[in-house]
């Protein structure tokens, strides 16, 4: 079997993978997935450790012979040049980003810098490196992106497919759309082996508590209000993070350069229904709660400016071409996730800093304007 034909379950040559944003939510789950699946691979994590990055999440891997953590910025071209060469990288899995829509509304500049300039810096560094190595066939650059680039759906619109036109609505999604276009152009113009994935909302362990699901879990545990934006009828399509990681693994091993895949769990839920489900799970699984039933904590707050109404992913292409299917349903995945937040207070408690509280005051003040 050649390296090109190798897949994630069969014979394969070891890879030397650079994972950007590997101390964040999805990136860290992917690092754990990769190290479990491919212990013979070299894994190099590059992460700036912004508020969203947490090195503690990777603690069990530190010190391993095949693992290296580098604190650094994806906009730092000399650093990236050195890492690619020194580590003889053949695969980049690019997760590093500013990822939170509410923060992009408060301060879009960091989103343009990291998501657009940072992705460009990585692409350009990898292009030079790939060229100087004579364009090896096995090299891959995976650009991890979002379904938010497609904009917002009406209640009966078909789900987003790979051919849906881009209509990003927030500074976050606009910056991700820009980076997707760059990754696509690097394949089209230079033949560089980029692959793009656009995924729906992830949830699971190591999720920073600014996003809906971890925020609700933690507020329930602390007896704090559960802020539901607007009428709570916005729809998101939820995917357990390890199912996303399995999809990315398949894409790295099996997708042809230049391809794009949508990834989603076919699990559409209205925000309010999802929050009800979380409350019920907490009532069932938490031995002690300050307020029970937890639903009493639900509070409707002013809507997010420009709030997209509905996202839904059509994952037919990755299912039929690469054989991917999610293993978790929203019920099984949420149960695992709630249990994880109950069991891992040591991970999330230190994140609730003064800076974090100040951030929330800003979000609600901006929405109220």
277 touches, from ligand DAU, ligand NAD, none (C-beta below 5 to 8 Å by class): none
Site string for ligand NAD, 113-142 (x = CB under 6 A): -x---x------------------------
By beta-carbon proximity to ligand NAD, the closer residue of 90 and 210 is: 210
Half-sphere exposure of 60 (CA within 13 A, CB side): 8
Residues of span 145-164 touching ligand NAD by CB under 6 A: 145-146
Question: Quick one: CA torsion of 310, 316, 318, 324, rounded to 10 degrees?
Answer: 100
Residue nearest ligand NAD (C-beta atom)? 24
What tokens were used for 196?
Answer: 């793009």
Of the candidates 75, 106, 298, 366, which one interacts with ligand NAD according to CB under 6 A? Answer: 75
Q: Give the distance from CA 177 to its chain's centroid.
A: 15
What tokens were used for 222?
Answer: 């602390």
Residue 82's contacts (CB-CB under 8 Å, 6 or more residues apart) are none
Torsion sign over Cα 250, 254, 257, 261: negative
Instruction: Indicate the SS3 state at residue 2.
Output: coil
Please tell me whether residue 49 binds ligand NAD under the rule CB under 6 A: yes
What tokens were used for 232?
Answer: 């709570």
Question: CB of residue 207 vs ligand NAD: minimum separation in angstroms?
Answer: 7
Of the candidates 176, 242, 246, 254, which one interacts with ligand NAD according to CB under 6 A? Answer: 176
Q: Residue with structure tokens 């609505």? A: 169
Q: Is the peptide bond before 293 cis (omega within 30 degrees of 0)?
A: yes
Strands 298-301 and 260-263: unpaired
Question: CB of residue 100 vs ligand NAD: minimum separation in angstroms?
Answer: 6
Question: CB of residue 11 vs ligand NAD: minimum separation in angstroms?
Answer: 30
**Annotated active-site positions, please?**
147-148, 172
Please tell me whether residue 337 binds ligand NAD under the rule CB under 6 A: no
CA-nearest of 46, 44, 53 to 16 is 44
Residues of span 295-314 touching ligand NAD by CB under 6 A: none
Please tell me whether residue 199 binds ligand NAD under the rule CB under 6 A: yes
Residues forming the site for ligand DAU (CB under 6 A): 99-101, 146-148, 200-201, 211-212, 215, 227-229, 234, 236, 271, 304, 311
Per CB under 6 A, residues contacting ligand NAD are 20-21, 23-27, 47-50, 52-53, 73-75, 95-99, 114, 118, 144-146, 176, 199, 201-202, 208
């Amino acid at each position: 079997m050649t390296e090109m034909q190798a897949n994630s379950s069969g014979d394969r040559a070891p890879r030397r993978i650079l994972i950007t944003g590997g101390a964040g939510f999805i990136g860290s789950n992917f690092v754990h997935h990769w190290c479990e699946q491919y212990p013979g691979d070299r894994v190099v994590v590059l992460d700036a450790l912004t508020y969203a990055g947490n090195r503690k999440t990777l603690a069990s891997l530190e010190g391993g012979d095949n693992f290296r953590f580098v604190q650094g910025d994806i906009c730092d071209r000399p650093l990236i040049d050195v890492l690619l060469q020194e580590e003889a990288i053949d695969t980049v899995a690019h997760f590093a980003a500013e990822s939170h829509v509410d923060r992009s509304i408060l301060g879009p500049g960091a989103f343009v810098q990291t998501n657009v300039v940072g992705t460009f810096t990585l692409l350009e560094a990898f292009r030079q490196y790939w060229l100087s190595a004579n364009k090896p066939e096995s090299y891959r650059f995976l650009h991890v992106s979002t379904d938010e680039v497609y904009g917002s759906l009406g209640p009966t619109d078909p789900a987003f497919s790979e051919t849906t036109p881009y209509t990003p609505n927030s500074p976050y999604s606009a910056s991700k759309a820009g980076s997707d276009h760059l990754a696509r152009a690097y394949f089209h113009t230079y033949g560089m082996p980029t692959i793009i994935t656009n995924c729906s909302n992830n949830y699971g362990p190591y999720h920073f508590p600014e996003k809906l699901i971890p925020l609700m879990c933690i507020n329930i545990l602390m007896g704090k209000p559960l802020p539901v934006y607007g009428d709570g009828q916005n729809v998101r399509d939820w995917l357990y993070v390890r199912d996303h990681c399995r999809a990315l693994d398949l894409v790295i091993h099996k997708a042809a350069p230049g391809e794009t895949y949508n990834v989603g769990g076919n699990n559409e839920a209205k925000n309010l229904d999802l929050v009800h489900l979380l409350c019920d799970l907490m009532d069932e699984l938490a031995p002690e709660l300050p307020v029970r039933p937890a639903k009493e904590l639900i509070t409707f707050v002013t809507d997010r400016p420009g709030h997209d109404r509905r996202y839904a992913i059509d994952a037919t292409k990755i299912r039929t071409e690469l054989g991917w299917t999610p293993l978790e349903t929203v019920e099984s995945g949420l149960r695992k996730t709630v249990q994880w937040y109950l069991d891992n207070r040591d991970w999330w408690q230190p994140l609730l800093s003064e800076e974090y509280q100040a951030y929330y005051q800003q979000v609600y003040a901006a929405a109220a304007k």
